[in-house]
Each structure stands twice: as structure tokens, then as C-alpha cells.
Amino acid sequence: MIKKRVLNALNSQLNAELYSAYLYLAMEAYFESINLSGFANWMRAQAQEELIHAMKFYDYIVARGERVDLTAIDEPQKEWDSPLAVFEHVYEHEKMVTGLINDLVDISVAESDHATTNFLQWYVAEQVEEEESASGVLQRVKLTADSPGGLFMLDSELGLRVFNPPVKEE
């Protein structure tokens, strides 16, 4: 059984992960609307990852014998001034999610919920990767600031990203 404070925080994070997927789909739609299909592809893969993250929370809550509480997902931003503005948003968003995960770890530690603390370590490591990935693309978009050709080369490269769903652990 999970203490109420931890359960509420887990359900809140589940909602935040679903919002992240929703946000990345909005970013994908933006990139499709300006004919940057490689950038759109990167966002689609990112949205799929966020859905996996959400389902890991969902499955964990159920495995602990608790009830998942799905709440409304906020409407995401839909327009940006440029690809650079999108990736600045991505990077800031991932830093915010890292803060949410860290807060969740703090709650699980304060409530002496060792199982949840252990479960969350995957997310702690994952957020290091998420921030690194977002920062990496952001820096590369910045390098294309004076080079439309560079932006199209980066678009081509980002189009190669393939989402690989994780193998279910036995």
C-alpha cells in the first residue's frame, strides 16, 4: 500500500508525463505545418517516449494495488516563433520535468517508501538523458541560425530518429 501523499504525487506525475506527450505532439504539428518533417519526426518519437514514461507510472500504481487517477490534461502551446524557440521550450520543459521527478523522489524518501524511491531511480537517470538530448539539439539549432541550409541538413538528420519501444521486463 502506498501512502496517500506518495500516491497523489505519482498520479500527478502520470498526468505530467501525459501532458509532455501532448506537448510534443503539438510541437510535431507545428513542425509539420512549416514543412520540417524531420523535426516533426523527432517530436513524434519524443511523444512516444513520454507515453511509455506515463505507462510505467500507470503500471507501477496498479502493481502496488492502488487506483490510477486520470485527470484533465492542460492544452499545450501550439505556436512558436521558430524552430529555435521550440527547442528552447523543449529544453526548459525537460528541466522542469527533472524538477518534478526530484520532488517526487524527495516525497518518497520523506514517506519512507523505499519501493517507490527505487522505482523512481530509472526516471532520475532518464531525465539526465532527456536533458542532454534536448540540449544537444538546441545547440545544433543555434548553430544553424545564419544558415537555412544547415537547418535543412539538421531536419534531414532528425528525420532519421527511430522510436524503439523498450522491451518489457519479466
Boundaries of every domain in the chain: 4-72+79-158
Q: Which CATH superfamily is domain 4-72+79-158 in?
A: Ferritin, core subunit, four-helix bundle (1.20.1260.10)
Closest CA to 123 of 25, 54, 36: 54
Q: Which amino acid is at 154?
A: L
* 88-111 tens-digit pLDDT: 999 999 999 999 999 999 999 999
* 18-42 tens-digit pLDDT: 999 999 999 999 999 999 999 999 9
Burial level of 4, CB count in 10 A (0-12/13-18/19+)?
exposed
Q: What is the pTM (predicted TM-score) of this model?
A: 0.93
